[in-house]
Amino acid sequence: MVKLSAKCIVAGDTTVGKSTLVQLFRSDGSHFPKNYSMTTSMEVSVKNVQIPDTGDSVELFLCDSPGKAIFYEVTEKLWDQPGALCLVFDVTNESSFSSCAKWLQRVRAKTFSPQLPGVLVGNKTDMAGRRAVERGQAEEWAASNGLEYFETSAKELENFEQPFQALAKAFHHLYQERVENFRSLM
Amino acid sequence: MTRAGDLCLSCAGARVTLATSSDDRHPADNIIDGNPDTFWTTTGMYPQEFIISLNGIQKINKIILQSSLVRSVRIESSTSKEPVNFELRLERDLENTEGHLQYEEFTLPGVQVAHMRFVILSGFDHFVSVHRVSAEGDK
Ligand SMILES: Nc1nc2c(ncn2[C@@H]2O[C@H](COP(=O)(O)OP(=O)(O)OP(=O)(O)O)[C@@H](O)[C@H]2O)c(=O)[nH]1
Ligand SMILES: [Mg+2]
């Protein structure tokens, strides 16, 4: 039985729903912040995720980061040696999707590891009539960047756990691979 | 002057008195069991550290660290009865060795130590392994 710890950066443009998703996940769906409150500095929430059929778990240190550009310089300094990435955009906002490439590059630049478990999350699917980014388009971009893709509606409590569980699983998988590797070293 | 051999062995009275990561399958005691095939793994995030407490105060000349994926390490030592009041000895960046262990020697001529603290500041990956630490000295 092992308890792993992963520093998970939650990044993406402002108002896409990062804080909402983190709050929901941390509170098991009981806390949906009604009013928008802009994140101005990185906030860390800790949540333990069980890995099915193993007895192992991954403690996610969710680093909810501000999306607004003026806070970036300070935030970036707190991102060193990330263990996982949750990249969020708003499916009704095309430019929040285009920004993902930039966010991805910024976070990847902070790790020495050849692999960084990551997910791409398209949030606000409840606003179906205003959708500006198609699922296929997002899926394709995610796949070509080695990310797993999820769609969520924090508002309707839909799917909000899946991206984080996938990250925990990927991190755990990486650990097992590395340990296997350590065994073979001489 | 007679060589005292390796002081960082559980059979020589050394103990790991702190480790910030623990996986039952790869416990920190593996660092001082004398066998480089067994290892301690870190379980995510940096920094990580472990403390080896020797059998009383000993004079050492060098420390050897066998590990993998360690990128930078800091070594501190203390002569207190308890593992407290550490003093910085050195900090070093290591090379990434693929497919085999890192073998790093730290020369610390004639330093008195009771406890040695190893702080792993960064790694080449999310996890590192420490297979063996040895300290040689003369009594
Ligand atoms: N309709 C809808 N609104 C949502 C959803 N998720 C979040 N919101 C709303 O979107 C607004 C912004 O959400 P936040 O979670 O604060 O956004 P953020 O990404 O943390 O923004 P910054 O902190 O500025 O980076 C809030 O008013 C939320 O209530 C969703 O799934 N559907
Ligand atoms: Mg926020």
- In sequence order, what DSSP letters do the residues of A89-129 get, joined into one string? EETT-HHHHHTHHHHHHHHHTT--SS---EEEEEE-TT-GG
- Chain A contacts of B68, Cβ < 8 Å? 182, 185
Query: Chain B within 8 Å of A114 (Cβ-Cβ)?
Result: yes
Query: Chain B within 8 Å of A66 (Cβ-Cβ)?
Result: no
Asked if B125 lies within 8 A of A179 by C-beta distance, the reply is: no
Query: Chain B within 8 Å of A6 (Cβ-Cβ)?
Result: yes
| Whether residue B3 has pLDDT greater than 50 | no
Average pLDDT per run of 10 along chain A, which is 186 residues long? 97 98 95 91 98 96 98 97 98 98 98 96 97 98 98 97 98 97 90
- For residue B54, the SS3 value is strand
The answer to the question of residue A183 being in a domain is no
The answer to the question of residue A40 being in a domain is yes
If you average pLDDT over residues B60-72, what whole number do you get?
96
Query: Chain B within 8 Å of A173 (Cβ-Cβ)?
Result: no
The residue type of B116 is: M
Residues with CB under 5 A from ligand 2 (ion): A 18-19, 39
Pairing mode, if any, of strands A57-64 and A43-50? Answer: antiparallel
Does A154 contact ligand 1 (Cβ within 6 A)?
yes
**pLDDT the model gives residue B138:** 66
Residues A95, A142: Cα–Cα separation, whole Å: 16
- Which chain B residue is nearest to residue A177, measuring alpha carbons? B127
- B14-46 pLDDT per residue, tens: 999 999 999 999 999 999 999 999 999 999 999
- Residue A53 tokens read as 């059929």
Residues A21, B82: Cα–Cα separation, whole Å: 45
How close A42 gets to chain B, by Cα (Å)? 17
Asked if B44 lies within 8 A of A178 by C-beta distance, the reply is: no
- Which chain A residue is nearest to residue B72, measuring alpha carbons? A112
- Residue B14 tokens read as 């050394």
| Residues 6 or more apart in contact with residue A141 via CB below 8 angstroms | A97, A100, A120
> Measuring CA to CA, which residue among A141, A82, A127, A99 is closest to residue A12?
A99
- Per DSSP (E only), the strands in chain B are 3-6, 15-19, 40-41, 48-68, 70-78, 87-93, 102-123, 129-138
Whether the CB-CB separation of A22 and A62 falls below 8 Å is answered with yes
> Measuring CA to CA, which residue among A82, A97, A91, A146 is closest to residue A119?
A146
Task: Give the residue numbers spanning the domain of A13.
Answer: 3-176
Mean pLDDT of chain B: 93
If you average pLDDT over residues B115-138, what whole number do you get?
95
CATH of the domain at A113: 3.40.50.300
pTM of the predicted model as reported, rounded to 2 decimal places: 0.96
The answer to the question of residue A108 being in a domain is yes
Suggest the residue from A113, A178, A180, A183 to mutate for an interface test with chain B (most B CBs closer than 10 A).
A178
Q: If you measure from the C-alpha of residue A34 to the centroid of ligand 1, how many angstroms do you get, rounded to a whole number?
A: 9
**pLDDT the model gives residue B4:** 55
- Chain B contacts of A81, Cβ < 8 Å? 45-46, 122-123
Higher pLDDT residue, B11 or A103?
A: A103
Domain boundaries, chain B: 10-137
Residues A38, A7: Cα–Cα separation, whole Å: 22
Our measurement of the distance from residue B6's CA atom to the centroid of its chain's CA atoms, rounded to an integer in Å, reads 12
Residues B2, B77: Cα–Cα separation, whole Å: 23
The answer to the question of residue A104 being in a domain is yes
| Residues 6 or more apart in contact with residue A186 via CB below 8 angstroms | B36, B100, B101
Using CB atoms within 10 A of its CB, is residue A53 exposed (0-12), middle (13-18) or buried (19+)?
exposed
Residues of B engaging A, defined by a Cβ cutoff of 8 Å: 22-26, 36, 39, 41, 43-46, 68-69, 71, 99-101, 122-127, 129, 131
If you average pLDDT over residues B96-100, what whole number do you get?
92
**pLDDT the model gives residue B5:** 80
Residues A120, A98: Cα–Cα separation, whole Å: 12
Domain count, chain A: 1
**pLDDT the model gives residue B139:** 53
CATH number corresponding to B10-137: 2.60.120.260
- Chain B contacts of A113, Cβ < 8 Å? 123-126
Q: What is the DSSP letter of B83?
A: S
- For residue A12, the SS3 value is coil
Q: Name residue, tokens 């097992």.
A: A176
